[in-house]
Structure 1
Amino acid sequence: MIKNKNSEQIKIRNWVEKNKNSVIKNLINLVDINTWTKNKHGINKAYGYLEKDLFKKIPDYSIKKYKQNNLGDLLYLIPKNALKKKPIILLSCHIDTVYEINRQKIKQTKDKLFGPGTCDMKGGLIVAIYSLLGLKELFNNQENIQLLISPDEEIGSTAYREIRKKIYQSVDYAFIFESCGDKDELVQERKSIYQLRLNTKGDGGHAGYYVNKNKSAITTMMSVLLKLDKLNNAISNSSINIGVIKGGTQANVIPEYAEAIVDVRCFGDNNMRNLLNEIKLISGSEKVNVETIIGIPAMSVDDKKLKKILSLLKNSFRKENLNLRFEKRGGGSDANQISQYGALCLDGFGPKGNFSHSSKEYVYVDSIFQKIRLMVNILSKFI
């Protein structure tokens, strides 16, 4: 256990240096297991791998597994001797990835590790786990730090909602391990995300006789979608992506039905409400129905709560020769949900990488080690 604060950073660095081979080995083995969101067997197999090795090194934790029929488990690690007097900290990660079949071979170069999920977010998961291991070995204390691993973040974390809600309501701070920004920025704001299904009906008929008289469902849908496309950047950096269009049966039949799936994003929940009202107004004027498929609130940070730990964060970043910076992102994460329940929620504690959700995905190896050192340093100030 470290007693001299002046030697703290040196001991953290030495500990990470000693464990470098273990970190990369475990990350490679984890990446090698396909954990596509709907691959329940693969996700639970990955959990089994973690339990056989890494979780045994933190015996002070109880492992709770919540189960569903169609998805992998929600894994929740909590200290056996939790200290209620100290602020409760949640480390939030996800283990699922986006492809049913791995489209990328694992490859390591001098400075990068390539493979599915290396950046999003198995690299971040490894950082979180080794942060707990470092706290155990160097400080012999993690009684107020929890770890939650989600199996379905890539599809909006829609399962286990009531369980998650109880966990989120019980914590004071939440650190999310999505990858950091290009300049190691943390994330303090994310867009609200809605996916909408639009559908409409037309008159139908033979294209040779009724095309000038009968209404086409596709033509109606196109008219609405073109108007919605003009709402891009109209409200708080809003983005509207027309992702899927379906309609018609064959070329000589006037379409009786058309459907579209639209992704809508903007910063701020009030802005999203205004944007959705505008979409419904435009759609309703042409008798196009609007149905919400997914609705995810915006992530934002309480500035007053952030101010209380700002100095701590700046000092920890400085020890890694980093400047504390923040950025906004258009993509969502579990931070969108967690931030709704009162905890100070910061995202982007995972390692630096690129090309998530693609066959070129990679993570910078040195960034993994740096983020472990950073997190051990930050978390040690809370225990």
Structure 2
Amino acid sequence: MKEIVDYLHQIEEEMVDLLEQLVCYESPSTRPDLTEKIGRYLSNIFIDMTGGKVEKLFSDCYSTHLKAVWGEGDKQLLIITHMDTVWPEGTLEVMPFSITDGKAYGPGTFDMKAGIVQALFAIKTLKELNIHLDKKIVLMMTSDEELGSPTSKDYIIEEAKKSDGVFVLEPSQGKEGALKTARKGVGTFEIRVHGVPSHAGIDPEKGASAIEELAEQITYLSSLTDLEKGTTVNVGLIDGGSQKNVIAEDAHAVVDVRVQTKEEMNRVVPLIQNLKPHDPNIEITVTGEIYRPPLERTDDIERLFEKAKSLAHDYLGIELIEEFTGGGSDANFTASLAPTLDGLGAVGAGAHAHHEHCVVSEMPKRSALLALLLIEYGK
């Protein structure tokens, strides 16, 4: 175990070099041509570093996803990462890769290209130190996570069902680098209201305002928020109407929904889906869903965290803590299918923000923690 830790500390510079290369491959989710480029690069890197195999998993509208396999065995452990970022092409011109005060800055450093680096080097370490596992390692590198994983979701679920453990390399939380053992479920709903247009000055009584109806519905939707239960219903976007002197025929809203438990999901979703108009002359259409179910802390997750905490204390001198987060990840899909531990990626801050960065000295430690977990559960 100590040899693993020492080896990764010795090659910290190699980890930083690879991180810089990945950051310089700009990879916004909505640019399949760019995510395809970083995918080709990562395929070659994985094969060179580990001697493993890479399979392309195709997507209808985004870039291909990668399923990289190292080792052999009838059983497997699953590592989940994503190649895409929220940053548009050209961001490097104003946010170039740089290292200041031991922190690596640049688009995607924290979320989650440092996580990819840590996963690759954890596997490389097992190979270089001739550590044999009884289970194969499957590393998923997807290209649409920041969009909710619409095309990679089914691939992830398929692999999770075959896995004895799932390790998600999303960034850790806070300056302490907390792991994530619970996440809210996340959903998006669109409300479309169709009314009856008329002249606002001449025939106001003949109209039925879609905007007024939507305003009533927004008040109701907002009332569904229950902070004690961890439920939030946020109407984040609205639009409607055509002219100031026309009773609005159409109005539209986009709603973000977050729920902490499946019980709350089952309560809130039907209330949103079954909205009824106050005015009989108006029609309401609701579309959308909870696209990431809640990740609730289970006994399996608790045991997995406690093992990680023990390994981190004994071999890395880290006192791991766990936290709950309101954001979603691919761990939301896997937690009900296999023991899942999330937040094993970079330590840093600024996901989706201009100060995004990871702490360089933590990269070999977190990579070592993943390697230790793979050994622990790979026997």
TM-score (norm: length of structure 1):
0.90
Give the superposition deviation at 1:212. 5.5
Of 141, 146, 155, which aligns to 1:163? 155
Distance 1:278 1:170, change over 3 A: same
- Matched to 2:85, the amino acid is T
Say whether 1:96 aligns with 2:91: no
Say whether 1:82 aligns with 2:78: no
Of 198, 207, 227, which aligns to 1:205? 198
For 1:5, the equivalent position in structure 2 comes to none
- Matched to 1:258, the amino acid is A
For 1:274, the equivalent position in structure 2 comes to 267
5+ long unaligned stretches in structure 1: 1-7
- Matched to 1:236, the amino acid is K
Say whether 1:116 aligns with 2:107: yes
Give the superposition deviation at 1:260. 0.5
Secondary structure at the aligned position of 2:251 is classed as strand
Give the superposition deviation at 1:55. 2.9
Secondary structure at the aligned position of 2:78 is classed as strand
Of 133, 138, 144, which aligns to 2:136? 144
Of 180, 183, 199, which aligns to 1:187? 180
Give CA deviations for 1:209-251 in whole Å, capped at 9, x if unaligned: 2335532101110111122122222562111221211211121
Asked whether the equivalents of residues 84 and 146 of structure 2 are also in contact (C-alpha less than 8 Å), the reply is yes
For 2:165, the equivalent position in structure 1 comes to 173
Give the superposition deviation at 1:280. 4.0
5+ long unaligned stretches in structure 2: none
How far apart are the structure 2 equivalents of 1:22 and 1:128? 13
Asked whether the equivalents of residues 235 and 271 of structure 1 are also in contact (C-alpha less than 8 Å), the reply is no
Asked whether the equivalents of residues 305 and 341 of structure 2 are also in contact (C-alpha less than 8 Å), the reply is no
Distance 1:365 1:330, change over 3 A: same
How far apart are the structure 2 equivalents of 1:322 and 1:47? 33
Distance 1:293 1:276, change over 3 A: closer
Give CA deviations for 1:266-298 in whole Å, capped at 9, x if unaligned: 111121110123334554556533211553211
> What is the RMSD of the two structures over their aligned residues, measured on CA atoms?
2.1
Secondary structure at the aligned position of 1:23 is classed as helix
How far apart are the structure 1 equivalents of 2:368 and 2:233? 39
How far apart are the structure 2 equivalents of 1:124 and 1:310? 18
Secondary structure at the aligned position of 1:209 is classed as coil
Secondary structure at the aligned position of 2:263 is classed as helix
Distance 1:358 1:314, change over 3 A: closer
For 1:321, the equivalent position in structure 2 comes to 317
Secondary structure at the aligned position of 1:323 is classed as coil
Secondary structure at the aligned position of 1:35 is classed as coil
Say whether 1:353 aligns with 2:348: yes
Secondary structure at the aligned position of 2:331 is classed as helix
Distance 1:123 1:102, change over 3 A: farther
Count of aligned pairs between the two proteins: 369
Give CA deviations for 1:114-171 in whole Å, capped at 9, x if unaligned: 1111111111111111110111112433542211111111111111444333212110
Asked whether the equivalents of residues 181 and 301 of structure 2 are also in contact (C-alpha less than 8 Å), the reply is no
Say whether 1:126 aligns with 2:114: no
Give the superposition deviation at 1:57. 1.9
How far apart are the structure 2 equivalents of 1:68 and 1:278? 33
Asked whether the equivalents of residues 211 and 251 of structure 2 are also in contact (C-alpha less than 8 Å), the reply is yes
For 1:3, the equivalent position in structure 2 comes to none
For 1:233, the equivalent position in structure 2 comes to 226
Give the superposition deviation at 1:48. 2.0
Say whether 1:49 aligns with 2:37: no
- The more displaced of 13-22 and 196-205 is 13-22
Distance 1:38 1:311, change over 3 A: closer
For 1:32, the equivalent position in structure 2 comes to 24
How far apart are the structure 2 equivalents of 1:247 and 1:310? 48
How far apart are the structure 1 equivalents of 2:236 and 2:142? 26
How far apart are the structure 1 equivalents of 2:301 and 2:237? 40
- Matched to 1:365, the amino acid is V
Give CA deviations for 1:80-131 in whole Å, capped at 9, x if unaligned: x5222xx521011011111332432222112211111111111111111111
Asked whether the equivalents of residues 180 and 351 of structure 1 are also in contact (C-alpha less than 8 Å), the reply is yes
How far apart are the structure 2 equivalents of 1:147 and 1:292? 30
- Matched to 2:89, the amino acid is I
Give the superposition deviation at 1:194. 1.3
Distance 1:285 1:324, change over 3 A: farther
Instruction: Using the aligned pairs only, state the percent identity.
Output: 26
- Matched to 1:169, the amino acid is K
- The more displaced of 269-278 and 138-147 is 138-147
Q: How does 1:234-383 map to 2 (within 5 A)?
A: 236-280=229-273, 283-284=276-277, 287-292=283-288, 295-303=291-299, 305-306=300-301, 308-309=303-304, 312-318=307-313, 319-340=315-336, 342-383=337-378
Asked whether the equivalents of residues 58 and 65 of structure 2 are also in contact (C-alpha less than 8 Å), the reply is yes
How far apart are the structure 2 equivalents of 1:264 and 1:210? 38
Distance 1:329 1:285, change over 3 A: farther
Distance 1:230 1:308, change over 3 A: closer
- Matched to 1:31, the amino acid is V
- Matched to 2:113, the amino acid is K
Distance 1:310 1:41, change over 3 A: closer
Asked whether the equivalents of residues 309 and 321 of structure 2 are also in contact (C-alpha less than 8 Å), the reply is no
